[in-house]
């Protein structure tokens, strides 16, 4: 997985977040889903980089390809 995405129980309750921040991945994904472009997101979150946004997309893509085991 991308080293820019971390999950630490002491940060954001263990939710996947962007390394060095307290910004959960799902927040960035929700901004993208709402139609915001990278530049707008970077203005809202000045500590982020374009690479951080791309890491969030990579993480979402990874989760979307996970297979659910038959129960």
- What is the predicted pLDDT for the residue at 16? 97
The 10s digit of each residue's pLDDT in 9-67 is 999 999 999 999 999 999 999 999 999 999 999 999 999 999 999 999 999 999 998 77
What's the pTM value of the predicted model, to 2 decimals?
A: 0.87
Whole-angstrom distance, CA of residue 50 vs CA of residue 66: 25
- What is the predicted pLDDT for the residue at 57? 97
Write out the chain in H/E/C secondary structure. CCCCEECCCCCHHHCCEECCCCCEHHHHHHHHHCCCCHHHHHHHCCCCCHHHHHHHHHHHHHHHCCCCCCC
- What is the predicted pLDDT for the residue at 70? 58
User: Can you list the domains of the chain with their CATH numbers?
Assistant: 5-64 (1.10.10.10)
Whole-angstrom distance, CA of residue 37 vs CA of residue 71: 40
Is residue 38 a contact partner of residue 65, using CB atoms and an 8 Å limit?
A: no
- Residue 1 confidence class, pLDDT cut points 50, 70, 90: confident
């Amino acid at each position: 997985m991308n080293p820019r995405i971390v999950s630490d129980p002491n940060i954001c309750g263990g939710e996947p977040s962007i390394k060095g921040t307290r910004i959960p991945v799902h927040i960035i994904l929700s901004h993208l889903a709402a139609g915001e472009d990278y530049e707008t997101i970077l203005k809202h979150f000045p500590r982020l980089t374009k690479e951080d946004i791309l890491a969030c997309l990579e993480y979402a893509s990874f989760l979307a390809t996970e297979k659910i085991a038959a129960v």
